[in-house]
Chain A
Amino acid sequence: MSHSRFPPAPRRSAPALVATLVLALLPIAVAAQSSDWVLPRLPDGMPDLQGNWSNATMTPIVRPPGLGKVLTPDQVTALEQGRQDFIAADYEDSDPNRGAPPAGGQLTGDPIFDAATGGTGGYNQFFVDAGDNIAIYNGEPRSSLIVHPEDGRRAAFTDEGQERVAQRVAFNQQFDQYDNPENRPLAERCIMSFGSNGGPPMLPNYFYNNNYTIVQTPDAVMIMTEMVHDVRVILMGEPQRLPKHMRPWLGDSWGHWEDETLVIETTNLHPDQVLMGMSNASFYPSEEARVIERLTRVSEDQINYEFTIQDPTVFTDQIRGEVPFNRLDGLLYEYACHEANYALENVLRGARSQEERERNENQQDWR
C-alpha cells in the first residue's frame, strides 16, 4: 500500500460532500462562537489556559510543494479522506496466505510512519494517534504550520549554519548509527520526545502522545508534555537568564502577558536538542537561538499557539509558525519510556549480534 502525507484526491463520496459543506460553514460557526464566548479568567485576572490540550494534526510543519497557505475545501476533504482510507486499510484483516515481506520491510510511503515502524509492522494504527484533521487556525485550514517564510518552508541557512551542519555530519560519520547509545536518536533513548513535542516550539510529532497539561499560578506556568513527561516551568516576570554555558533540555523560559496573550521567550537551548523534528526543517539551535511563543485562548476549545524562531547564526531569516492547540477531554497517561526501554537495548544487542555473525562467517571463509 502506498500513502503519502498529502495523497491525491480520491473520488468524493457523500460523506466527503457533507464534510465539504461543514468546512464551508466553519468560519461562520467560529464567528458565532466568538461573539457568545467569554474568555475564562483566573482570580488574578489573567486568561485561563489551564487543562489538557492536544496539537495533533495532519498538517505538516513544512508546506508541501504546490500548495498555498490556506487549503481549499476540496483539498481538505481529499486529505482527510485519504487519511481515513489509510487508517481503514491498516485495520483490514491481514491475508493469512501472504508471503514474507521484502527485505527491509514493507514500506507504506508515509515517511514518518515508516520511520517509526521500519516497515516491519512494529506499530499499526491501533497504537497511533497521529492527528487525522487539517489544522484550522483563525478559521483557515492550513497546508503547513510554518507561515513565515511565506513559502512555508524553513529559512535558508547562513554560511555559519551550513558549516555547523557539515561539522555535525562529519562528527557523526565517525560512527555507525548502532555503535553506541549516544548514536541513537534522543527519543529512542527516552531523553526527549520525538518531533519537538516538548519544544520550544512545541510541535506535533505526527505519531502519538501529542498531549499537554497546563497549570497556571501567578508566579509560574507549568506545561507538561505527555511524551517523556517533560515539564517546562515558565517563570513569570523580568528574566534572570541562566549563564550562557548552562543549556538545559527545553531551554530557559520566561513568560509575561501582553494583553490576553501569554508570551514565552526561551534561550539557552541545548545544543543537541533537535527543533522542528519530524520534518525536513529540523535543526540544532545555536547558542544565540531564541524562541518566542505566544499562547492566546481564542475559544473554549482552542488556544492559538504562535512561535517565532530567531537564530541569526544559523538562519538568514526568522521562522514563524501557527499551531492550533485543541482541548483534550480525558486524562493524560504517564509516558514512562526509559523504565522499559527494551528497544534501545535490543537495537544495540542486535547490532553486536550481527557483527559477531559476520565475524564468524568471515572466519569460516578464511578457513
Chain B
Amino acid sequence: MTILTLRSVTRVACAGFALMGLIPVIISAQSREIPRTAAGHPDMNGIWQTMGNAHWDIEPHTARPALAMQPGPVVPVPANEVLAFGAVGSVPSGYGVVVGGTIPYLSNALATRDENREQWLDRDPEIKCFLPGVPRATYMPFPFQIFQSDAHVAITYEFATAFREIYLEDPGEPQVDSWMGQSFGQWDGDTFVVRVNGMLGDTWLDRAGNFTGFGTTVTERYTMISRDHIMYEAEIDNPETFSEPWTIRMPLYRNIDPNARLGQFKCVEFVEELMYGHLRKNPIRGNGS
C-alpha cells in the first residue's frame, strides 16, 4: 500500500501545475496542426463517430439487463420481445454526456420520459428506422460524414441515410417542420456554431426515452481540438419541456483508416416485417388481423 507523504503530494501538485502551464502551449500547437480550408476555417471534412454509450442513455447510468423489462419472481427480467438477444441486448453502463449530469425536465415532461422508457419498444423512433433528428444523429452507433467547402456544408449519416445541409446564410424561419430540422451555421472564431430548429416533436435523444419535444432549438458547437478530434457540444432549449437550457458534450473521433468510407444502412426495408408483417396475405407470425 502506498502512503503519500506531504512532500510527495506537493511534488505531484507542483508537477501538475507545471503541466497546466504547458496546456495553452499544447493547445496552441494543436491549433496550428488543425487542417484548414482555403478560407482559413478548420477543415472538418471526413468521417466521424463518437465513442461511448450515449446512444443508450445520455444520462449517467449503470448497466442493466435490457431496455425492455418485465416483472420477475425475484427481480425484473428482460421482456419476452428482447429475451432472445441475451447479453447482446443488455445495456452497457455510461457516465453520461449531460453537462451537470441530469436533464432539467419539467415535472410533466419527466413523467413522459418515464412513460417513454416503459414503452420503449412501441415508441422509440429508432426501432422503426425513423430519421433520428439532431443531436441524436450525432452519437448513434454509426459514423457520419461531413462535406465542407467554403460555400457549402452538409452532413450525411450512415443511419437511415439521414441528411442535412447546414445553410451558411440564414434561411429565415423554416417553411415546414421536418425530422432533421433546418440548420444554419456560422463560424465563431474556429468554432462552427449551428442553430437547428423546425424539428418535429417526435424525435428522441436516446434509447432511454429522453426527448426534446416540439419547438426545440438545438445550438451545436463543433470545435476541432486536433486534426482527428472535434469537441461537440449541443445546447438544447425548449421551455415547454425543460426548466432551463442544458448542454451535452462529447468528443467526435475521425476514422483515420485511409480506406474508411461511409456504409449504407437503409434500414427501412429491415423493419417492414415489424411494421407491416401482420398485413401480409399469410402472416409469418400468425397474427394477421
Rounded to whole Å, the gap between the CB of B6 and the closest CB of chain A is 56
User: Does A275 sit at the interface, judged by CB under 8 A?
Assistant: no
User: Does B82 sit at the interface, judged by CB under 8 A?
Assistant: no
User: Does B276 sit at the interface, judged by CB under 8 A?
Assistant: yes
Give the contacting residue for A351; candidates B145, B154, B161, B281; CB below 8 A.
B281
- Which residues of the other chain, B, contact A333 by a CB distance below 8 angstroms? 175-176, 178
Known contacts A216-B149, A334-B180; A231/B163 CB under 8 A: yes
Contact assessment for A336 and B280 in the assembled complex, using a CB-CB cutoff below 8 Å: no
User: Does B27 sit at the interface, judged by CB under 8 A?
Assistant: no
Give the contacting residue for A229; candidates B129, B161, B275; CB below 8 A.
B161
- Which residues of the other chain, B, contact A181 by a CB distance below 8 angstroms? 272, 276, 279-280
Contact assessment for B45 and A339 in the assembled complex, using a CB-CB cutoff below 8 Å: no
Query: In the docked arrangement, what's the CA distance between A42 and B39, Å?
Result: 11
- Which residues of the other chain, A, contact B261 by a CB distance below 8 angstroms? 233, 235
Name the CB-closest residue of A to B266: A249
B116-132 near A? 1/0 per residue, CB < 8 Å: 00000000010011110
- Which residues of the other chain, B, contact A332 by a CB distance below 8 angstroms? 165
Contact assessment for A180 and B281 in the assembled complex, using a CB-CB cutoff below 8 Å: yes
- Which residues of the other chain, A, contact B175 by a CB distance below 8 angstroms? 331, 333
Query: In the docked arrangement, what's the CA distance between A216 and B148, Å?
Result: 8
Rounded to whole Å, the gap between the CB of B13 and the closest CB of chain A is 46
- Which residues of the other chain, A, contact B180 by a CB distance below 8 angstroms? 334
- Which residues of the other chain, A, contact B262 by a CB distance below 8 angstroms? 233
- Which residues of the other chain, A, contact B128 by a CB distance below 8 angstroms? 339
- Which residues of the other chain, A, contact B45 by a CB distance below 8 angstroms? 217-220
A123-135 near B? 1/0 per residue, CB < 8 Å: 0000000000000
Chain A interface size, under 10 / 10 to 19 / 20 to 34 / 35 or more: 35 or more
Query: In the docked arrangement, what's the CA distance between A224 and B166, Å?
Result: 13
- Which residues of the other chain, A, contact B282 by a CB distance below 8 angstroms? 179
Contact assessment for A191 and B266 in the assembled complex, using a CB-CB cutoff below 8 Å: yes
User: Does A329 sit at the interface, judged by CB under 8 A?
Assistant: no
User: Does A213 sit at the interface, judged by CB under 8 A?
Assistant: yes
Chain B interface size, under 10 / 10 to 19 / 20 to 34 / 35 or more: 35 or more
User: Does B152 sit at the interface, judged by CB under 8 A?
Assistant: yes
Name the CB-closest residue of A to B156: A231
Name the CB-closest residue of B to A182: B272
Name the CB-closest residue of B to A346: B279
Interface residues of A in 180-197 (CB under 8 A from B): 180-182, 189-191
Interface residues of B in 142-186 (CB under 8 A from A): 145, 147-154, 156, 161-163, 165, 167, 171, 175-176, 178-180
Name the CB-closest residue of A to B180: A334
Rounded to whole Å, the gap between the CB of B272 and the closest CB of chain A is 5
User: Does A159 sit at the interface, judged by CB under 8 A?
Assistant: no
Query: In the docked arrangement, what's the CA distance between A216 and B281, Å?
Result: 47
Query: In the docked arrangement, what's the CA distance between A348 and B171, Å?
Result: 40
- Which residues of the other chain, B, contact A331 by a CB distance below 8 angstroms? 167, 171, 175
Give the contacting residue for A248; candidates B148, B153, B176, B264; CB below 8 A.
B264
Query: In the docked arrangement, what's the CA distance between A242 and B212, Å?
Result: 39
- Which residues of the other chain, B, contact A176 by a CB distance below 8 angstroms? 281
User: Does B99 sit at the interface, judged by CB under 8 A?
Assistant: no
User: Interface centre among B152, B156, B279, by most A CB within 10 Å?
Assistant: B279
- Which residues of the other chain, B, contact A338 by a CB distance below 8 angstroms? 129-130, 268
User: Does A364 sit at the interface, judged by CB under 8 A?
Assistant: no
- Which residues of the other chain, A, contact B75 by a CB distance below 8 angstroms? none
User: Does A24 sit at the interface, judged by CB under 8 A?
Assistant: no
Rounded to whole Å, the gap between the CB of B276 and the closest CB of chain A is 5
Give the contacting residue for A336; candidates B38, B148, B178; CB below 8 A.
B178
User: Does A345 sit at the interface, judged by CB under 8 A?
Assistant: yes
- Which residues of the other chain, A, contact B279 by a CB distance below 8 angstroms? 181, 345, 348-349, 352
- Which residues of the other chain, B, contact A219 by a CB distance below 8 angstroms? 45
Rounded to whole Å, the gap between the CB of B256 and the closest CB of chain A is 14
Contact assessment for A224 and B148 in the assembled complex, using a CB-CB cutoff below 8 Å: no
Q: Residues on B close to A: CB < 8 A? A: 37-38, 45, 125, 128-131, 145, 147-154, 156, 161-163, 165, 167, 171, 175-176, 178-180, 259, 261-262, 264, 266, 268-269, 272, 275-276, 279-282, 288-289
Given contacts A181-B276, A334-B179, 11 further A-B contacts (CB under 8 A): A43-B150, A213-B154, A217-B148, A222-B154, A231-B161, A334-B178, A334-B180, A338-B130, A339-B131, A349-B279, A351-B281
Provide a sorted-by-A list of 17 A–B residue pairs whose CB atoms are within 8 angstroms: A189-B269, A191-B269, A213-B165, A215-B147, A216-B152, A220-B145, A222-B147, A224-B163, A229-B163, A249-B266, A334-B178, A334-B180, A338-B130, A345-B275, A345-B279, A348-B279, A351-B281
